[in-house]
Structure 1
Amino acid sequence: MILYKTNEQVELMKISAMLVSHTLSEVAKILKPGIKTIQIDKLANEYILDNGAVPSFYNYSGFPHHIITSVNDVVVHGFPNETELKDGDIISVDVGTIKNGFHGDHAYTFIIGEVSPEILNLVKTTKESLFIGIKEAIVGKRLGDIGFAIQSHNEKQGYGVVRDFVGHGLGKTMHEDPQVPNYGRRGSGIMLKENLVLAIEPMINLGTKDVFIEKDGWTVRTKDGKPSVHFEHDVCIKKGEALILSDYTPIEAAEKANINLNTSYY
């Protein structure tokens, strides 16, 4: 069942979404070679709790951590752990919050230090494709228009567009209908109507689109071991132009201020 939100509910969802954005900006401040991803999890959890919310992911279907940290060839659902980040790593940090009964849920990929031009371009193209997809998230378009736009932009560069994991509706539960693939045919799928809230999240691989799940039942890796990039925004369908409930502005400001992070693809 697809659940459309009232304007008042959309405003409450924006509060949850912005808390995710500010949590990710706090993460951006501390990222550096030598930091352990479990330390990032601790900081994010404390920040979320201090702001009167709870982490969406903790104990969700048994997930044992507060946030998701996916490094290099991990596509999504990576466990925070004792491994130290190093120069040349990329890390997707995915955060969810519940506040006022509604979820916020989005992700951002950070680059630690120097990486190859091909990885810089992968990050740049994936991030671009998120906003290209969002341009299609308006009243009167169809769900397939979003996926088609994201898929086309990335496949032009020869990248693998993950099929096994997709975006989703968002609201009082973290995963609502409809599913939002990052691939599709223009003009296909449900008609988009006002105040449908979606988590749009391209997951794009440098090589093959194929992935596998580790024995832990959660960690998703690329089948060829090449890097993967993940960006995500919370988006409300509106007439003429989508309303983005989350905001990369504070994240990007913190990212640019951190000398350990590479923003040269901007």
Structure 2
Amino acid sequence: MLKKIECLSDEEIKVILRAADGIIASGGRTLLAKILKGSREKKLLELELDKCPVYGYYKSEKLEDVMDKIDWMIDFDFLEIQYSGKLPMIVYTERGWQIECDQYADELLSEWKKWLEEEKQDIDMTYLKDRNRQMILLLLDKVKESGNKAFIPYLKLWEKIEYKKVKEAIRTTTKALENNEQVDEQLIKERIAANTEALKGSAPQDLLLKCWDCGDRFTFSISEQKFFKQKGFQLPKTCKKCLEKRKELFY
């Protein structure tokens, strides 16, 4: 059964996705809830998860209510559970990563803008090395779209420490800024529209599956899906009738 939460705002969706970024495939629902709650638990502080920009966003709410919000994110296809051995870990769905990738790239670009205001020059750009390639290329797109030539020194510093393929992408962005190349406004509009659509989520609904034994269709309910997700099970391949027949044969 779905939790009592009817809907989360776009801001809340982005906040929860941002909080999950530091523990993807290494932490579960409870740890994510504690980050959002602003827990001072020793383990959390040792992992420096209190440095997350949305740490404590839900500090005035009960931990169980924050957990409900995380479950809503799972139900609506922003996050999902994958098992590492017997441990359930939080991971992004394709939809969730699309949103997080875009907002993280914006966060990095905002940091660059702040550096310009502070007139910072000798920046250690190794913090960008080995980051997710999709997010890095999106950041470069956003730098190019800004048309701000003041970013060129940062790009050149970054290029010095990167691998070949990223170096080429950085060089292309630098040349685009130097030559005042026009950006593709249509691509920007399409990206914004895609992210807006992604934020709508995917409402849970019953699935109609085909039984591998008898060939008939059977309903896989929302509550059953939720249970299977929590346990890390794959989709069922047989209907309940055929499953009962199998049990009778073996027992």
Which category of TM-score, normalised to the shorter sequence, fits these structures?
under 0.3
User: Comparing both chains, which one has the higher relative contact order based on Cα–Cα distances under 8 Å and sequence gaps of 6 or more?
Assistant: 1
TM-score, structure 1 as length reference: 0.26
Structure holding more strand per residue: 1
TM-score by length of 2: 0.27
Q: Which has the higher helix share?
A: 2
Q: Which has the larger radius of gyration?
A: 2
